[in-house]
Structure 1
Amino acid sequence: MNAPDQKETLHRYLKNAREALLWKLDGLDDYDVRRPMTPTGTNLLGLVKHVASVGVGYLGDVFDRPSGIDLPWFADDAEPNADLWVPAQESREQVIDLHHRAWAHADATVEALDLDAEGAVPWWGERGQVTLHQILVHITTETHRHAGHADIIRELIDGAVGVREGMDNMWTGDADDYWPQHRGRIEEAARAARQHATGSDGAT
């Protein structure tokens, strides 16, 4: 595979991941897109905000292509994890607009540079000398990781699942109660495994 084909493939996988992440907001109200669904506060709109924000850095500043996009949650005096949640005064529309602006700038960087173009990631220390190829792999992997987080968060909120719009990629069988039965079998297997290992089923 030649270099242009490699770049096109990597870029396509990145675009698919970020579109899947944004899609997870569809159909939810302002509470559900922001509500923390894990003990560490993971939430859908915060994931979109975070991924867009790091995209500005990795596919902008790292290659000396500043975006001009203001990211106050990355300021030196910002509180920890400020990029991972959305205060009430930040609207959903603002975060979605950030997503589109950040990735338009990132796309322009990818299109303008060769895969062997060099950049520098200051926060990586001695490992900071990088190429566009390395950063495309890194940011695509991170975006898919967070899209996976969003898959689980959305399912916990309202049971909605799917890879992308129009494609859930989930086999459900013929029975209407397939998923409850399937989950039940997995629960039984987990309990049986614990009983086998400890001699107790853990029931209280």
Structure 2
Amino acid sequence: MTQVQRPPRTADERTQLIGWLDLQRSFVRMKCTGLSEEDAHRKVLPTSPLMTPAGVVSHLRWVEYTWFQLGLMGVPDTGQTPWTEGGHVDAEMFVDDVPIAQLLDEYDAECARSNATIADLPLDTLERGPWAAKGEAASLRFALCHMIEETARHVGHLDIIRELIDGVKGYTEPE
């Protein structure tokens, strides 16, 4: 995914929500540009050893899948997710043996699938997945707002991690 521009200031709600999400998504790849495999998997936060660039990218890929496929569309989890009953709560972040390029490509593909999934859905569409069954269904509008928050928060993590790894900071492509 290439870095995108902010949505127009006077755009409609849908354009704003998806535009802001796409902007944050584009920062994920940008923050990983130029990292070696070693650095992409480097553990720089002693209290959060799963918080590596690779782990964050993998987490964001699965968050996209969880909100838009499992939650919104109600796609059943038939074992395709990294979580298992009784497994580690952050299982999607155990990716020491997965190349960063593969993780980024999987993330970009999941983001594209998310956008295709929601392209024709009204913002008031309610989830059909596990939370709906519990009476806790969220609207597509809520899911988009949450995904903006989730992605932006983790982009901030990537920004800090990247600075700790090699001093690269900010939101411009590293040279």
Regarding TM over 0.5, the answer is: yes
User: Is 1:24 matched up with 2:31?
Assistant: yes
Are the equivalent residues in 1 in contact too, given 2:56–2:154 (CA < 8 A)?
yes
Deviation at 1:76, TM superposition (A): 2.6
Q: Equivalents in 1 of 2:160, 2:133: separation in Å?
A: 33
Segments of structure 2 that go 5 or more residues without pairing to the other structure are 1-10
Q: Equivalents in 2 of 1:143, 1:13: separation in Å?
A: 10
Matched ranges for 1:153-168 at <5 A: 153-165=161-173
Matched ranges for 1:37-56 at <5 A: 37-38=44-45, 39-41=47-49, 42-56=51-65
Q: TM-score, normalised by structure 1?
A: 0.70
Aligned to 2:8: none
Q: Equivalents in 1 of 2:87, 2:131: separation in Å?
A: 17
Change (3 A) 1:65 1:27: same
Alignment root-mean-square deviation, CA: 2.6
Change (3 A) 1:163 1:51: same
Matching residue's letter, 1:20: F
List, as ranges, runs of 4+ consecutive aligned residues in structure 1 with deviation greater than 3 Å.
65-72, 77-80, 123-127
User: Is 1:107 matched up with 2:103?
Assistant: no
Q: Equivalents in 2 of 1:151, 1:80: separation in Å?
A: 24
Determine which structure has greater relative contact order: mean sequence separation of CA pairs < 8 Å that are 6+ residues apart, divided by chain length. 2
Deviation at 1:82, TM superposition (A): 1.7
User: Is 1:148 matched up with 2:156?
Assistant: yes
Aligned to 1:169: none
Q: TM-score, normalised by structure 2?
A: 0.81
Deviation at 1:71, TM superposition (A): 4.1
Matching residue's letter, 2:34: G
Q: Cα deviation per residue 1:26-69 (whole Å; 9 max; x = unaligned)?
A: 11110101111112111111101101111011012212264999
Are the equivalent residues in 2 in contact too, given 1:17–1:143 (CA < 8 A)?
yes
Aligned to 2:67: 58
Structure with the greater alpha carbon radius of gyration: 1
Change (3 A) 1:98 1:115: same
Aligned to 2:124: 116
Segments of structure 1 that go 5 or more residues without pairing to the other structure are 167-204
